[in-house]
Structure 1
Amino acid sequence: LPLYKGLRVHGYWTVDETKMSKSLGNVIKPLELKDKYGLAPFRYFLLREMHFGLDANFSEEAFVNRLNSDLANDLGNLFSRVLTMTNKYFAGKVPSAGKLEAEDEAVIGIGLESIANFQNLFARFQFARALESLWEFVRYLNKYIDQTAPWQLAKEKQEERLATVIYLLLEGLRKIALHLWPVMPSVSVEMLKQLGVDFEVQKVDLLAESKEWGKLEAGLKVAKKSNLFPRQEIKLEQNKEAASSASLKEKKEYVSFEDFKKLDLRVGKILSATRVEKSDKLLKLEVDLGEDKPRQIIAGIAPYFSPAELMGKEVIVVSNLKPRKIFGQLSEGMVLAANDGQSFALLTVSKEVKEGTKIS
């Protein structure tokens, strides 16, 4: 065999921003998670969450949130809706597309662009960005359903227009399913099977898939229903309760009052918030702590707050935390928050106080 010309090495997985360690008891057992939630969602999370070459943070809560958000809500729900409408309006057979309108051309343009970006990024080992590009198309198809309102077209007996809309949705799903094969092979094959498509990887023409639209044959029989990614909240809650109960039974570690006094907690006001490039979770905050200049703090709160929501908000900051780099950005403190798995809240004060006020 010829010698390799490059070595691809991924970063480290941390747990709650801390290295995995047997002594800390925070080692993740991937086979247990695979058995609990399924192999396909676990593969998706690993590729979606880690930017290749950088470290990434793992938590079961983040995993389940990603499963529910991306797979159950976005993709699974889309797939189920389209199959249901195909069975309801066209006896479960792929209809033929008619004349295209402007919103249809937009779907095709965005779809082909997303597919081309996915192929380009995946080939360069930028798996997280590749999947985000594909999910832009997934989300756009959901939006397209709301824009075109197939149920209203059926009510008004606009059969040709309805057929065009349903065909575009089915063809979009075919392309998405096909490109998910390297990420979730079993689910990809099952999705294609539900669309009536036989899959042979050797016959896939990736270049054509990124440039051509309309390869799905009319008349194919689709599945009556689909439930690819059931939601997992209840399982997560049970796990948390079990873990909490087990933790209490094992031991409770206390800190001394002297150790607690070492923390310097201050009230700060968020002056600005921007997204950290190439990160779905991190926001870069400028926080006024009553000092000569604002502090820059990197916080993993992007899934819960938009930058606009945070402007002017008073928060509690650990101000004497040793500065460190997160995702290449210097962070000079920590914003405190509470998260019970169902809701997320930033710690604040009950009424407005001066920036830099000490918490005691």
Structure 2
Amino acid sequence: HRTKLEELHGSITDSLSRHRYKEALRTVMNASQYGNQMLQAATPWKYLKDETPSEEREQSLSDLAFGWRIARFLAITTQPFMPFSAARLWAGLGLSGAVSEVRWEEAVNWNAPMEWNPADPQPLFKRLELDEILASEQSLVDPDEASAADPGHGVKGSKKKKNTPPEEKKVKEAPEGTTYLNFDTFMEVDLRVGKITTVEDHPNADRLYVVTVDDGTDEPRTICAGLKAYYSPEEMVGKSVVFVANLKPRPLRGVVSQGMMLAADDGNDNVKLVTIDGEISTGSQVR
């Protein structure tokens, strides 16, 4: 874990030194994703009431403790981008002083004393619903400013435009048989960027490949894909693809598949992987 965070810290520092701020913030978010995946795998909540000594329990609690250090890392590295949220996170960890006064290199100081905040944790962010976003955008429209922008406004002799409501555009009807997906349901789908590192024949299925994907974490992801009729292994290796990261793993003919790669199919036996144009970090979220 330490090595991974140190690598990410170095990448953030390098991006900032080259004024590539969006790239730096993306790497910070990758660190957050890494910490979340680590805790999900550790499942420390299983041992809250079970104090029976075991190697699994010790490892889980060790990962939980390191999760605190990742949160401290995030407080320091998000400070240049989100100073108020970083300050709240810093205080939420029980740390004293101002995070803005902490040296940048301290983010990877693994000997820093661990503190504790007994207060109930408060979320740093809340999920905005679509109607809230639209209402916020509408509130930015000032009718007075809009009328002032009218070329005829205030000009002697100019005709005042009638305040008529805009014509309502007809909503394009979906093709017959289409079922609309609820927006909230769609937002639950976690699409990520991954790079294909190896492609092997499935041992028990003639039409499947067993694909190894670098998803930006320490452990590569295995995905079974029915692409044998459309790609050779050599054509797939090295491609940056889009995959569903939070699809429940399931065994496919004896091999557990941990996601699904997206591909386009025109219905005429022409299938193409959905790939990324240009360079971007593996694990980046697709929006």
Q: TM-score, normalised by structure 1?
A: 0.37
TM-score by length of 2: 0.46
The structure richer in helix per residue is: 1
Where relative contact order (Cα < 8 A, 6+ residues apart) is larger, the structure is: 1
